[in-house]
C-alpha cells in the first residue's frame, strides 16, 4: 500500500480496492476447499469417528461459511469455525481455551501482525535511503541467529507436553513463544533480501523447493481435511512413538501436497492470473523511436509509402 501510494494517486477508493484485491487473491482456493468439505469429503470414507470429525466439519461449514467469506473467523467462537487448523481438532488431539486465546484469536496474533508491518516499512525505507545492509555485521549476526531462535521458540514448550505448567512458566511461554518466532522470521526475511548468508539463502532458493512453495497456501488449506479423514477412519488404537510420529508426519505431508497440486493448477494459479488481468496496473504502451528520432508505437511501421514504392 505504501509503495502503491508513492507511484499512484491515493483516493478514498484505494483502501477498499486493496481489500477487494486481497480478498480475490485468497478466496478462490478457500471456497473450493470449503465446498469440498461440505459436499464430497464426507462421502470419502467411514469409521467410528467419522461423524464426529469429518461430518462435524461439514455441519460447521454449512452453518458458519460466512465467517470465512468475510475473512474474520478468529473473531468468533473457535469451536464453531469452519476449516480450523488441523491440530485443534478437539475430538482427536484435544482442545482447550488456552489454545484459542493464545494462538487463534485475533488479539493473540497482534504482535506478529505489527512486526510484519514494521518489517515491511523498514525494508521499504532501506530501499529508499539505499542503506548498504548487505555488509552490515549486525544484520549478518542477527540473520545467523534467526534460525536457532525460531527453533527455540518452536521447541520451548516441549517439556510442557508431559506436565502441567506453573503460572510463571505459562506466562513466560505465552509472552515469548509467538513473539520470538515472529521476530526471528522478520529478521530472516530481511537477511534473505540482502543475501547475508549463503547457506540460509541457498537453502530457501533451492530449485526443488520452489514448486512446493507455490503450493504451500493450498497445502495449508487442505492439511486439516487430510488429518480429519485420517483420524475419522481409524478403527483401532494408535501406538505413538517417535518413529511412528515421523512416518505419520511424512505421509500426511506427502498426501497433502499431492492434493494441493490440482488445487493450485486448476484453482489458485488461474485465479491469480485472472486477478492480475482484471485488477492489475494498466501498462502504458511502449513508445520507441525510429532512426530519425520520431516516436512510434510498437507494431506500427515507420516506412513511408514512397520508400516502399521506390524499392519496388
Alpha-carbon span 186 to 149, nearest angstrom: 12
Residue 40's pLDDT is what?
Answer: 93
Express as a percent the part of the chain with pLDDT over 70: 77
pLDDT bucket at 151, cuts 50 / 70 / 90: very high
Residue 89 burial class via C-beta count within 10 angstroms: exposed 0-12, middle 13-18, buried 19 and up: buried
DSSP state of 76: S
Which among 273, 163, 147 is positioned nearest to 214, based on CA atoms?
273
- pLDDT tens digits, one per residue of 83-128: 775 333 333 334 455 666 666 666 667 788 889 889 999 999 998 8
Express as a percent the part of the chain with pLDDT over 90: 31
Residue 86's pLDDT is what?
Answer: 35
**Of residues 126 and 293, more confidently modeled:** 126
Do the beta carbons of residue 181 and residue 155 sit within 8 Å? no
pLDDT bucket at 234, cuts 50 / 70 / 90: confident
Contacts for 283-292 with beta carbons within 8 Å, 24 or more apart? none
| Beta strands in the chain, from DSSP E residues, in sequence order | 288-289, 295-296
- pLDDT tens digits, one per residue of 4-24: 666 777 777 778 888 888 888
SS3 208: coil
Residue 282's pLDDT is what?
Answer: 63
Which among 133, 169, 177 is positioned nearest to 152, based on CA atoms?
177
The structure's pTM equals: 0.75
Amino acid at each position: 500500500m505504501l509503495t502503491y501510494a508513492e507511484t499512484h494517486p491515493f483516493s478514498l477508493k484505494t483502501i477498499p480496492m486493496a481489500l477487494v484485491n486481497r480478498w480475490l487473491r485468497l478466496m478462490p482456493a478457500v471456497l473450493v476447499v470449503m465446498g469440498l468439505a461440505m459436499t464430497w469429503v464426507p462421502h470419502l470414507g467411514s469409521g467410528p469417528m467419522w461423524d464426529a470429525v469429518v461430518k462435524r466439519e461439514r455441519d460447521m461449514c454449512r452453518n458458519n461459511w460466512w465467517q470465512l467469506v468475510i475473512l474474520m473467523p478468529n473473531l468468533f467462537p473457535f469451536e464453531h469455525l469452519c476449516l480450523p487448523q488441523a491440530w485443534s481438532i478437539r475430538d482427536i488431539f484435544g482442545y482447550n481455551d488456552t489454545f484459542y486465546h493464545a494462538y487463534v484469536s485475533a488479539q493473540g496474533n497482534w504482535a506478529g501482525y505489527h512486526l510484519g508491518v514494521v518489517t515491511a516499512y523498514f525494508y521499504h525505507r532501506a530501499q529508499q535511503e539505499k542503506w548498504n545492509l548487505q555488509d552490515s555485521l549486525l544484520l549478518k549476526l542477527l540473520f545467523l541467529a534467526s534460525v536457532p531462535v525460531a527453533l527455540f521458540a518452536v521447541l520451548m514448550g516441549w517439556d510442557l507436553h508431559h506436565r502441567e505448567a506453573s503460572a510463571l512458566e505459562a506466562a513466560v511461554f505465552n509472552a515469548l513463544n509467538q513473539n520470538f518466532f515472529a521476530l526471528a522470521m522478520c529478521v530472516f526475511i530481511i537477511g534473505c533480501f540482502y543475501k547475508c548468508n549463503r547457506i540460509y539463502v541457498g537453502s530457501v532458493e533451492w530449485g526443488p523447493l520452489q514448486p512446493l512453495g507455490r503450493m504451500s497456501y493450498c497445502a495449508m488449506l487442505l492439511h486439516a481435511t487430510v488429518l480429519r479423514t485420517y483420524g475419522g477412519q481409524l478403527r483401532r488404537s494408535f501406538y505413538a512413538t517417535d518413529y511412528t510420529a515421523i512416518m505419520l508426519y511424512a505421509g500426511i505431508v506427502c498426501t497433502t501436497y499431492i492434493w494441493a497440486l490440482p488445487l493450485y493448477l486448476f484453482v489458485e494459479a488461474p485465479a491469480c492470473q485472472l486477478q492480475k488481468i482484471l485488477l492489475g496496473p494498466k501498462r502504458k504502451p511502449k513508445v520507441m523511436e525510429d532512426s530519425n528520432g520520431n516516436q512510434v508505437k510498437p507494431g506500427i511501421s515507420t516506412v513511408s509509402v514512397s520508400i516502399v514504392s521506390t524499392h519496388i
